[in-house]
Structure formats: C-alpha cells, structure tokens
Amino acid sequence: MGGNEMQEKFLIGTYTKKTSQGIYTISLDTTTKQLSDIKLLIPAQNPTYLGVSAANNLYSVIKEGTQGGVGAYNLNTQPPTLTNAVLGAGSPPAYVSIDETRQLVFSGNYHLSTVTVYKINSNGGLTQTDQVTHQGLTGPATEQDTPHVHYCDLTPDNRLVVCDLGMDLTVVYDVTDDGKLTAVSRYQSEPGFGSRHIKFNPTNPNIAYLLGELSSKLEVLKYNPNLGEFTHLQTISTIPADWTAHNGAAAIHVSADGKYIYTSNRGQDTLAVFEALPDQSVKLIQSISTEGSFPRDFTLDSTEKFVVCANQETDNLTLYARDSKSGRLTLLQKDVQCPEGVCVKVLR
C-alpha cells in the first residue's frame, strides 16, 4: 500500500472579504487523524459554494466586479484553468449543484431571488438555458424582505427542489433534458421558518429533512414522487429551548445509512446531531461546539468516520471523529487555519 490511501482531500469555498484569496484544498490524514497542508488551489472572488462533476470540472459561485455568476474550472489541468464563467449584473449566487444525468448545473441566487439553469458543454464550460424568478408573499422576519432562493438541488427522482428563505417555501420543478424548468408543487412552511437547505434520506428517498435558518428548526417531510409533493411529518428545534441569543441554522447533511442527520448552528456555534427513528421522526441526540464562530458548512468524509466543519468568522476548520454506530461526534482538532471558510466538499 502506498501512502496516498491514507490521505483524503477537501475543497474549501470561501468569502474573500478579509484575507482569503479563493478556493483552497486541505488534506486529512486518516491515520494520524489530522488536517494539514492548506493550499490555495484557485484564486477567485467570493467562491462561496462549489460542486465537482464526475468529469472533474469544478463549478463555483464567482464574483467579478459588480457581476456574479458561476465559473467552470477544469481540475484536470495543473493548476486548474477557468473554462468559462456565465455572469450577470448583481450579487453572485448562494448555491451551485450538478445534474450528471442531463449534464446541467443549477444555481440559486439569494439576492436576486432566481434559479438559473446551465447546460454543461463538451469542454466542461457552461451555457445558460433558463432562469426563474421567485415572486410572491414573504414571511414576517426582517430578513424576509423579498423572496430569497437559498438552495437548488436534485430530488431522488431527478426533479429540482428549491428552498426560498424569504417565502418560507419549498418548490419542486420538473426539468427537461435541455434545461427548462416547470413548477410542479409548492410546500409552505410556518411563517418565519426561513427555508434554507433540504436533504433526502439516502435509504428512504420519500423522506426529506428541511432546515429553517430563521427559526432554527428542522422539518421532517414526506415526499410523494408521483406528484412531486411534500407533506409535513414533524418539526423539531436545532437549539435548546432556553437559547435566546441570535442563531441561524445553516447546512444539513445525512449519513449514507440514513440513520443520522447533522445540522450547523451559527450563533450557538454547534453541530446538532439527530437520530432518525423507525417511525420516520427524528430526535436530537447531541449538540457539540464547532470551536469557532459562524459554522456555515461542514461535510462527512468519504468513509463517514470524520466530519470537517468550517467556521467563517474565526477562520478555522474543526475536525471530528464520527461514530458510525451512535452517530455521535468527538472533537479531534480545532485550530486549523482556513480564511473565511464557507463550503466544504470532498475532493474525490
């Protein structure tokens, strides 16, 4: 066995408001259980969210001056090269996802309230094929001044599900092979919920977990693939009942066995661990400090024995060991330097 088997690499997307210069890589040695060797991979402005395709193209949120959009980078070259960027006036998007089957990329723009679809060209570059703008009634919170698209990714049956934080709304769209969207259903959460991210249960694709940023709540939903519709099963808090300071729930990930759900809390600065019960409900089993401030995103490594969390405001990454049987996390390492970390992705 060579030494490489023990190394796992992660991509870190960042804000570049202070000292960060773009997209970084960091290595996890699974033997010594330590993160090290942070390197700038791609210089870029505010590459806050990332996706890597099977063809090893990186699709990133990108900002250029007063324009924002999605950039396509070829990771097969050393160093990676920008294939192209599709830019428009205004703030860059908040989320990027990849549709391998139809060779599409989706982006969700929080500030412009838009969902944009791009076709992946043969060279890995992008061409815009559609854009939908959310309009309508918004929730009561001050952050809900307009519709705010925060997430767009595939359902298990290859539709597109979109979370709108401003409208407390989750919309399911049909997607054509050439990248056109048609709304199928709308699921309305309670006023002020602040729908931010949703993930499906890998072993039960008709169950989804919807995270509310503004409410710091998690909703368990039933998904009907015949109708492309959600129905409500449960609502549970991600923070203790006596937590009165500001908190915003951020990212959500589910273990591959479908037994454990992980969410991040910005304010309480914790990762909350939920266990999925046989009746489809969930219960909170752990709340562990992120050892930093404003944990926007985190991820499980490919073995799911580790979790890497990015603390945006304290410029550090935190590493946990994950017990696959109990789902619980144990702190391994906390002062790993990383500037303005937002998105964490496994680099396969």
pLDDT for 3 beyond 90: no
pLDDT for 1 beyond 60: no
Under 8 Å between Cβ of 180 and 129: yes
pLDDT for residue 6: 87
Residue 197 DSSP SS3: strand
The proportion of the chain whose per-residue pLDDT surpasses 90, expressed as a percent, equals 98
The predicted model gives 273-300 an average pLDDT of 98
Q: What tokens were used for 174? A: 């049909």
Side-chain half-sphere of 189: how many Cα atoms within 13 Å?
35
Total Cβ atoms within 10 A of residue 269: 19
Under 8 Å between Cβ of 126 and 84: yes
Query: What digits encode the pLDDT tens for the residues 95-117?
Result: 999 999 999 999 999 999 999 99
The predicted model gives 306-329 an average pLDDT of 98
The predicted model gives 72-79 an average pLDDT of 96
Mean pLDDT value across the chain: 97
Under 8 Å between Cβ of 304 and 256: yes
Under 8 Å between Cβ of 203 and 257: yes
Task: Map out the domains of the chain as residue ranges.
Answer: 41-297
pLDDT for 4 beyond 60: no
Under 8 Å between Cβ of 149 and 170: no
Query: What digits encode the pLDDT tens for the residues 5-42?
Result: 689 999 999 999 999 999 999 999 999 999 999 999 99
Shortest CA distance to 295 belongs to which of 242, 257, 348, 239?
239
pLDDT for residue 5: 60
**One CATH from 3.40.50.300, 3.40.718.10, 2.130.10.10, 2.60.40.10 for 41-297:** 2.130.10.10
Residue 19 DSSP SS3: coil
The predicted model gives 212-240 an average pLDDT of 98
pLDDT for residue 348: 82
Query: What digits encode the pLDDT tens for the residues 47-75?
Result: 999 999 999 999 999 999 999 999 999 99
The predicted model gives 145-158 an average pLDDT of 98
Q: What tokens were used for 267? A: 């304010």
pLDDT for residue 2: 44
What is the rounded end-to-end Cα distance, in angstroms, of the chain? 18
The proportion of the chain whose per-residue pLDDT surpasses 70, expressed as a percent, equals 99
User: Using CA atoms, how far apart are residues 210 and 158, in angstroms rounded to an integer?
Assistant: 18
